[in-house]
Amino acid sequence: MSALTFMRRGAVVQIEKFAPDTMLLDYLRLTEKSKGTKEGCNEGDCGACTVVVGTPHNGGVRYQAVNACILMLGQIHGKELITVDDLARDGVLHPVQQAMVDAHASQCGFCTPGFVMSLFSLAHEKRDVTRADVVDQIAGNLCRCTGYRPIIDAGLAACNAVDDHWSRAQAKTSKILSGLEGDLFVGDDTSFFASPASAEKLAELCAQYPKATILSGGTDVGLWVTKQMRVQAQIIYTGRAKGFAAIEDHGNVISIGAGATHTDVLEILSHLSPDLGELLRRFGSRHVRASGTIGGNIANGSPIGDMPPALIALGATLHLRHGKVERSMKLEDFFIAYGKQDRKAGELVWRVDVPKPASNQVFKCFKISKRFDDDISAVMGAFLFTVEDSKISAARIAFGGMAATPKRALKTETALIGKTLDEALSVVLDDYAPIADMRASAEYRVTVGNALLRKALMEAAGANDVRVLQP
């Protein structure tokens, strides 16, 4: 296909020409002139631009809230796009909108369209929602005047067995969207947005255009455009490539395709470790988790990405692919230096294999950030202890936010070996010289790193949810 095609207000919309790095929010506000969706932070943090994207799923449609500001227009090919402007029908407010009015859940009203869309997606995703569901859903929507209590009330009142225009049209919508499969290439050799429909074609295109930007969720690449004003002339989007997001449980190893979103892996990784589940639940927001991918979080090489330290501690193996050639390495070896990863131009982060902890192993991980939800880590620590005959026989420790890359604490690991979990409490984290920045001072990072090591050891020994450490 050579035209971007998506569903909007019941009709199929086609766009034959657009700048490859057009952001969805700009398309909505400037081209379509739908002004209901607001621009707040323009970096996927505040949720004022929340829209809902529908994807065909098991004969129905899966609706997810995403941030339109950092979603590229090309990413909605083959999807249904719903914005706040669409909800009221024939002058009657949607149940979610009416609940927001009834609960007095708006004040200045600027964040309100985002909250409405966020709750709209929850209403379609779940039945009988709990307070925790609502709170989790709106973690990616910031309100600075009404307060969240009335908004949560509205969510609890409205997100329950919703029966609306969209739920009734699901089968029809799904059928239309399923007809939009196949490769997409809009533009020419020098300037294009490509969205291959298979993993094979994706690998082939990336090898063919080694200078192209590989776009997965856009939760980082989007900011290159909106904050750094960097023009992206050639874009290859991974999100529609069949097989690229596959998640397979091989018994003792979970194999995660690079394109799997954080939402996709939440359940399976929660079973691998409750700590990992909690880390994922606090990873960005539901908006970010619905877009951002495991592969993207690794490929961008950020020293404060949350998944790499956890996956390194678990002993994950990374697979890369260039054209038809695949190679693999230990995940920690992928991160060479700040902003430098062991990835050639045109090469894709392909898959990560994560071993499940054995019965004599304990895995713990903790995220420390200024704000509990929807925030970037100051320090993120992950620990895997192997305990034999009451003594630590092996340890894998990795931290984010402590060095220029996600990095293992090799010296500390060695110091732990041969000690009981109790004796190990005397070990001092001795691998990092962290920097001070807007998220934490160097001293804070050192102190917290040591506290997390102690917390991990105490919890490995059986203590529950250690909150306060005695000096």
Given the rule CB under 8 A, which residues bind other proteins? 34-39, 83-85, 87-88, 93, 97-98, 100-102, 104, 106-107, 109-110, 112-113, 116, 229, 436-438
Q: How far is the CB of 282 from other proteins (least distance, A)?
A: 24
| DSSP 8-state assignment for residue 357 | P
**Residue where the block lists tokens 């919508």:** 173
Query: Closer to other proteins at the Cβ: 36 or 182?
Result: 36
Sequence length of the chain is 471
Q: How far is the CB of 466 from other proteins (least distance, A)?
A: 31
Query: Closer to other proteins at the Cβ: 30 or 336?
Result: 30
**Residue 333 to residues 120, 269, 317, 328, 383: CA-CA distances in angstroms?**
42, 22, 10, 10, 18
**Residue 179 to residues 5, 175, 182, 229: CA-CA distances in angstroms?**
11, 7, 9, 35
In whole angstroms, give the CA distance from residue 66 to residue 49. 8
Q: How far is the CB of 300 from other proteins (least distance, A)?
A: 19
**Residue where the block lists tokens 């009834």:** 102
How would you classify the pairing of strands 379-388 and 391-400?
A: antiparallel
Query: Closer to other proteins at the Cβ: 155 or 308?
Result: 155
Q: How far is the CB of 112 from other proteins (least distance, A)?
A: 4
Query: Closer to other proteins at the Cβ: 29 or 289?
Result: 29
Q: How far is the CB of 99 from other proteins (least distance, A)?
A: 9
- Contact in structure between 205 and 163 (CB atoms under 8 Å): no
In whole angstroms, give the CA distance from residue 234 to residue 189. 8
Query: Closer to other proteins at the Cβ: 388 or 437?
Result: 437
Structure tokens at 411: 């010296």
Query: Closer to other proteins at the Cβ: 146 or 170?
Result: 146
Q: How far is the CB of 52 from other proteins (least distance, A)?
A: 13
3-state class (DSSP) for residue 437? strand
Query: Closer to other proteins at the Cβ: 158 or 202?
Result: 158
Q: How far is the CB of 415 from other proteins (least distance, A)?
A: 32
Burial class of residue 54 (count of CB atoms within 10 Å of its CB; 0-12, 13-18, 19+): buried
Cβ-Cβ contacts under 8 Å for 273 (sequence gap 6 or more): 357, 363, 364, 365
Query: Closer to other proteins at the Cβ: 29 or 396?
Result: 29
Nearest to 344 by CA among 369, 357, 327: 327
Nearest to 245 by CA among 288, 207, 295, 205: 295
| Residue 423 CB neighbours (<10 A) | 14
Structure tokens at 120: 């709209």
Query: Closer to other proteins at the Cβ: 185 or 444?
Result: 444
